[in-house]
Structure 1
Amino acid sequence: MTVTYVIEGSRVTGLEQFWTVIGEAVNGPGGYFGRNLDALADCLGGGMGTPDDGDFAFEWRDHTSSARALGHEETARYLRQSLSRAHPTNRASVQQRLDEALAGRGPTLFDLIVAILADGATPGTLLLS
């Protein structure tokens, strides 16, 4: 039987709040399900609260609200922070993505998270409502 985790998109006001919302959706109050994009992808592999057989889905309610909160402005904020920690050989790439976000172009955090959820779960198990 498929377990469906509900992401309440209206509660997502930024990236930090997204980590709280998805953690609670999967593992209850105070729950963890990643605190960065790589950790989210790792959590989808199992052992972090989802069924071992991989029979789970995500329903992202009010995803348009989340898309706004995780849009280009929040993406630029995230990339600014990433730039300060980036390896010198990666700074030009991060700066280019930051410039794109500041111009309102390129993938947003919402786009990246949706891609991770869609790629890491069974096809068809991410419902945006």
Structure 2
Amino acid sequence: MSTSNNNNRKMIVINGGHFSNLADFYKEASAVLMKDVDWTVGTLDGFDDILYGGFGLFESKEEIQIIWKESEKSKKDLGFDITRDFYERKIKQGKPFNIELIQQKLNDLMAGNGQTLFEILIEIIESHQNITLILQ
């Protein structure tokens, strides 16, 4: 859903009620950010790439606002367990993944110092200065 609000920022809504895992988050992100574009998000890097704009709903560096509805649900859904499984699958798959780096991320997570997928997604969004994120 894309509409303009009164400060001329395009508003994009990600609805946490529409997904409960990373694959379905990518589907939601693709639906709301890449509407009418024949390309879908399938990786964290791909999600970061579409936030640069220019080939979806907004132009490069255009000021946008992302409202993440039901973000508390997403925080739980994309939390510790699913993040641990995400890293373990990558380690099991091996190449092309950097196993040492992923093992370190898994170790950090297990020690209580690592980021969950939810936190990684938030960090990716917040790294784009033209994007304002509102968690609801």
Of stretches 78-87 and 42-51 in structure 1, the one that deviates more from structure 2 is 78-87
Q: 1:11 corresponds to which letter in structure 2?
A: H
Q: TM-score, normalised by structure 1?
A: 0.83
Q: Is the 8 A contact 2:37 2:56 kept in 1?
A: no
Q: 2:30 corresponds to which letter in structure 1?
A: G
Residue 51 of structure 1 corresponds to 58
Q: Larger RCO: Structure 1 or Structure 2 (Cα < 8 Å, ≥ 6 residues apart)?
A: 1
Structure ranking higher in helix proportion: 1
Residue 11 of structure 2 corresponds to 4
Residue 71 of structure 2 corresponds to 63
Q: Please list, as runs of the form range in 1=range in 2, the aligned pairs for 1:1-129 lying within 5 A after superposition.
A: 1-28=8-35, 32=39, 34-52=41-59, 54-83=62-91, 84-86=93-95, 90-102=98-110, 105-122=113-130, 125-129=132-136
Query: How many residue pairs get matched?
Result: 127
RMSD: 2.4
Could you tell me which runs of 5 or more consecutive residues in structure 2 were left unpaired when the two chains were aligned.
1-7
Offset, 1:92: 2.4
Could you tell me which runs of 5 or more consecutive residues in structure 1 were left unpaired when the two chains were aligned.
none
Q: Is the 8 A contact 1:61 1:128 kept in 2?
A: yes
| Partner Cα separation in structure 1 for residue 107 and residue 68 of structure 2 | 29
| Partner Cα separation in structure 2 for residue 3 and residue 30 of structure 1 | 18
| Partner Cα separation in structure 1 for residue 134 and residue 107 of structure 2 | 31
Q: TM-score, normalised by structure 2?
A: 0.79
**Identity fraction in percent:** 24
Q: 1:45 corresponds to which letter in structure 2?
A: Y
